[in-house]
Structure 1
């Protein structure tokens, strides 16, 4: 089954993590997926990480989609404008825009008040998290609204409810991730007259390349990390949020979700999909009801 065959998607920030998982699942559903990022096989970004947009495109192709890598810095308007002209010339349409640009993991100073946090790093984090999404929306949406049924997915960390009720361990990070939820809500109003939909979607505790590296494990032996952090048992692969986004994109009634803030776990229940190991981790409910309630790690009823 290829429910997205003939659809054109742009995963902005698809080099690794959630963006890679989303690109893969859109490809598995038959979409043509443009994958942007700063790191290519010939040039590494400030991240200094080995993952590349070409690697992501290969994974999309392996799953039956069409992956097209394009090096883009989404803080440079001219590069984003050029990308959109290319997509319009090559495809004539854009059906799905996924704004997953981030790049701030190494800038966060956790549990550090704003007056002690590096101002340079904090402001850079906000630019990477917010300005990149605004620039991309500015240039991409004129193409997306040409056809009814277009979808914009703003990827963040934390649902609107969770972020409104919890301090995210850094003022800069808190602002970055809460702003993206608000962006989706505002976009919902601006896109609705064109029959298009905007949502924000968050993964749970995601086993990204950086997270696995942090715990010194791989996807094959990730459970070993629970010896250091027992609550990691609720974690999920990047493919899980990918399946969430793919399910929304394929839903003919997706406009009913317009403006909503959603999690991969919520969407798994709604659309009845599973992570690659057959689980359905409901991370955000678990974090509130188990970890933050001071209970011992136990994923029964949450996975």
Structure 2
């Protein structure tokens, strides 16, 4: 049973970058909690983005509706200010408000060059990473936050990869990816200062080792047999579904005291321990704790103890 069922009835959310991965998981869980969810991305059933992947925003919207909410798919390139502005105008026209903004725009998995120094990394691809991973978030916040702050209680979630502490202490394998992901921790903190006078909250949120569509393909497995990934990397057994991050967002959005988190850098596993929710299989993985206590010191894999 979903612990947040019905708790977001009447709430309006925008999940920017909801085609797949964490964005899809977040959109579905907000829908399961009863919210109306606008799902944006570039890939539709009629047109694919540069990703050239099969997942579409229509599929995500249908999953939101099936989960109990109302899913609305809108094709938006968040690097085009005019498209983002039109999106927010549509939400205002149709709903009159915005309660939850989730900035999960990304799209750079296939252009990131891992373990490559800046002088060897493609400059064009590197700057594209920053455009996709940071500039899109700033454009979206510029247009969406004026609607969010019209009433107290609004929530902004900046989805990134790694907590502030993790990203400060770990080099993320190339400078462009490193900068993109740690920037969002700071963006959330800065926007928290701007939202606080309006009674609204901003946080950054990271999944753990997430079993996205792309990650499952990388390991050559499906969600049904995901544990086989542990044969390639035993630490993979600490991984989690995108819905786990979705439940973390639903928990925050349902919390009447959510302002206690304002400006904080959070993880799905940390919030699961605070709010008591689980992943869809009933487990409660805490990747960040596992990384600090097992992976970082080089200990043997011990994932089950952290689930």
**TM-score normalised over the length of structure 2:** 0.98
Rounded to whole Å, the distance in 2 between the matches of 1:299 and 1:43 is: 40
Tell me the SS of whatever aligns to 1:301. helix
Map 1:174-213 onto structure 2 (within 5 A): 174-213=178-217
Rounded to whole Å, the distance in 1 between the matches of 2:300 and 2:63 is: 37
The CA RMSD measured in Å over matched residues stands at 0.6
Regions of 4+ moved over 3 Å: none
Match of 2:43 among 39, 55, 60: 39
Match of 2:280 among 251, 276, 279: 276
Deviations 1:28-77 (A, max 9, x none): 00000000000000000000000000000010011110000000000000
Rounded to whole Å, the distance in 1 between the matches of 2:141 and 2:298 is: 41
Rounded to whole Å, the distance in 1 between the matches of 2:145 and 2:194 is: 10
Q: Which runs of 5 or more structure 2 residues have no equivalent in the other structure? A: none
Match of 2:56 in 1: 52
Match of 2:135 in 1: 131
Match of 1:259 in 2: 263
Rounded to whole Å, the distance in 2 between the matches of 1:90 and 1:121 is: 37
Map 1:236-251 onto structure 2 (within 5 A): 236-251=240-255
- The alpha carbon displacement at 1:227 in A equals 0.6
Alpha carbons 2:237, 2:304 under 8 Å: kept: no
Q: Which runs of 5 or more structure 1 residues have no equivalent in the other structure? A: none
- The alpha carbon displacement at 1:280 in A equals 0.6
Rounded to whole Å, the distance in 2 between the matches of 1:110 and 1:33 is: 34
**TM-score normalised over the length of structure 1:** 0.99
Rounded to whole Å, the distance in 1 between the matches of 2:174 and 2:300 is: 25
Rounded to whole Å, the distance in 1 between the matches of 2:122 and 2:231 is: 32
Match of 1:88 in 2: 92
Rounded to whole Å, the distance in 1 between the matches of 2:140 and 2:103 is: 8
Deviations 1:192-224 (A, max 9, x none): 000000000000000000000000000000111
Rounded to whole Å, the distance in 1 between the matches of 2:20 and 2:164 is: 24
Match of 2:72 among 59, 65, 68: 68
- The alpha carbon displacement at 1:300 in A equals 3.7
| 1:290 has 2:304 as partner | no
Rounded to whole Å, the distance in 1 between the matches of 2:49 and 2:274 is: 37
Alpha carbons 2:238, 2:304 under 8 Å: kept: no
Match of 2:123 in 1: 119
Deviations 1:246-299 (A, max 9, x none): 000000000010000000000000100000011111001111221121111111
